[in-house]
Amino acid sequence: MDEIELIAQYSLLQRVKSYRVLGHLFGTTTLPEEIKKAPLVFVGAVTRDFERVILQEKGDWEKAPKIALQKHMSEEVVKAGMEAISQATPLRSCLEAREAIQSMWHRVADLYQKAYPDWVRPSPPQLPELYSTTTVRSIIRRWITEWDVRRYYSPDTEIVIVEDEAIKSTPTEELPELEEDEE
């Protein structure tokens, strides 16, 4: 599950409901037996500052369990969802993984070649500028987008990449249109 940090934009009640879902997905004891036995692994992705900004500064650690009790939800499951976020394993930065990314390019290019056998494989690209927030997913998406453009239009098509600062971060303020009646 990607972009769990979007929960930050929800109202408090909706965040509590989201923590409850995460608690179930991460395997709390309240799961039905048939689901507990299923060969299922759940992986989530969340920004590194979510715990500090939402769970601590906004006070969800204290508020969410109380709301859960008021709304007749399992306080333990809600806490389990928040715990899953706080116990996340940080991924290695792309800055530490240049060689792995170069190796990955060859594997991704091989897969693309299998999907489009007539495609003329380009030489390995220059890596984009890597920041601590650069994701491997964004790098692979960039490669595939470039290959698609060249395949559709021309191998010689000039591609200009413009970075938009506005889309580099996820806002952590609640959105008024997501407010719910909390009575």
Residues 153-174: tens digit of each pLDDT: 877 777 776 665 555 555 566 6
69 within some domain: yes
CA atoms within 13 A on the CB side of 101: 24
> Is residue 22 a part of any domain in this protein?
yes
Over the stretch 24-67, which tens digit does the pLDDT of each residue have? 888 665 566 766 677 767 788 888 788 888 999 999 999 999 99
Domain housing 107: 94-165
Q: How many CB atoms are located within 10 Å of the residue 71 CB?
A: 13
* Residue 30: per-residue pLDDT: 59
User: Which pair of structure tokens corresponds to residue 18?
Assistant: 């989201």
Number of domains in the chain: 2
For residue 183, being part of any structural domain is answered with: no
Separation between Cα atoms, residue 131 and residue 95, nearest integer Å: 7
Same domain, 103 and 154: yes
Look at residue 61 in the predicted model and tell me its pLDDT: 96
Residue the block writes with tokens 């938009």? 164
pLDDT of residue 32: 65
Tens of pLDDT along 76-125? 999 999 999 998 877 666 556 677 788 888 889 999 989 998 888 877 77
